C-alpha cells in the first residue's frame, strides 16, 4: 500500500532501517565530547567511545542491545555512529610529549636550569660525563598509537604520551 498523504520532501527525509539506540541530542553531545578530547591530545580510542556510548544509554535509562558483559557498544554500532557523523573519523595519531604540550616557556627553562645547577653541585660530575639525551638515543615518545576519534579534515592528529 502506497503512502500518498506525505509530500515528496517528507518521503526523502525518512530514515530506513533500525532506530539508533542513542537519540540525536545524545549523539551530538558524544560527538562534541570526542572533539574536546581530541583537542586536549587525549582522543578516544574505539573501546573508549563504545564504553561512553554504553554509559550514556545506562544513565539515561534507554533500552539498548549493548554488551552487558563488557560494558560497551558493539563494533557495528560504532561504525554506524561514525557514518552518521561525517565530522569525525578514526585517525592514527602521532605522538607528542607532555613537555611539548606544556610549552617551552622562559619560566620552564629557568626552572630546569635551577634544578640542573643544584644536581651538578651535588654530584661532582666531570664535564665530559654529561650527555645529551638525543646523543644517547633515549626515546621519550611512543612509536605506535592506536587510532583515535578526531575531526575530519584536520592536518595533524596528536596523542599525548607520558614518560615514566
Quick check: is 124 in a domain? no
Q: What is the pLDDT of residue 2?
A: 67
- Residue 139, pLDDT > 60, answer no
**163 touches 97 (CB < 8 A):** yes
- Residue 164, pLDDT > 50, answer no
- Residue 31, pLDDT > 90, answer yes
Quick check: is 27 in a domain? yes
Confidence of residue 153 (pLDDT cuts 50, 70, 90): confident
Confidence of residue 30 (pLDDT cuts 50, 70, 90): very high
Q: Please give the tally of structural domains in the chain.
A: 1
Among positive and negative, which fits the CA dihedral 107, 113, 114, 115? positive
Q: Which residues pair with 95 in a beta bridge?
A: 159
Average per-residue pLDDT for the chain: 79
**82 touches 30 (CB < 8 A):** no
pTM over 0.75: no
Quick check: is 164 in a domain? no
- Residue 138, pLDDT > 70, answer no
Q: What is the pLDDT of residue 120?
A: 77
Quick check: is 61 in a domain? yes
- Residue 136, pLDDT > 70, answer no
- Integer Cα distance of 60 and 71 in angstroms: 15
Instruction: Give the residue numbers spanning the domain of 66.
Output: 19-97+144-152+155-159
Least confident of 11-15, 39-43, 47-51: 11-15
Q: How far is CA 136 from the centre of its chain?
A: 32
C-alpha distances out from residue 31 to 41, 59, 89, Å: 16, 17, 10
Quick check: is 139 in a domain? no
Quick check: is 135 in a domain? no
Residues 6+ apart with CB under 8 A from 87: 31, 35, 151, 152
Highest mean pLDDT among 7-21, 55-69, 141-155 belongs to 55-69
Question: What average pLDDT does range 31-48 have in this prediction?
Answer: 88
Question: What average pLDDT does range 52-63 have in this prediction?
Answer: 87
Quick check: is 7 in a domain? no
Quick check: is 121 in a domain? no
Amino acid at each position: 500500500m502506497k503512502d500518498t498523504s506525505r509530500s515528496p520532501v517528507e518521503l526523502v527525509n525518512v530514515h530506513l532501517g533500525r532506530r539508533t539506540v542513542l537519540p540525536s541530542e545524545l549523539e551530538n553531545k558524544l560527538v562534541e565530547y570526542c572533539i574536546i578530547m581530541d583537542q586536549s591530545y587525549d582522543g578516544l580510542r574505539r573501546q573508549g567511545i563504545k564504553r561512553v556510548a554504553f554509559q550514556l544509554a545506562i544513565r539515561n535509562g534507554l533500552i539498548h542491545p549493548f554488551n552487558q558483559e563488557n560494558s560497551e557498544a558493539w563494533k557495528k554500532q560504532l561504525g554506524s555512529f561514525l557514518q552518521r557523523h561525517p565530522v569525525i573519523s578514526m585517525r592514527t595519531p602521532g605522538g607528542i610529549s607532555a613537555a611539548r604540550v606544556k610549552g617551552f616557556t622562559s619560566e620552564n627553562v629557568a626552572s630546569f636550569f635551577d634544578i640542573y645547577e643544584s644536581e651538578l653541585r651535588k654530584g661532582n660530575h666531570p664535564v665530559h660525563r654529561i650527555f645529551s639525551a638525543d646523543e644517547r638515543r633515549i626515546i621519550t615518545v611512543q612509536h605506535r598509537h592506536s587510532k583515535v576519534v578526531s575531526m575530519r579534515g584536520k592536518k595533524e592528529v596528536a596523542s599525548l604520551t607520558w614518560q615514566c
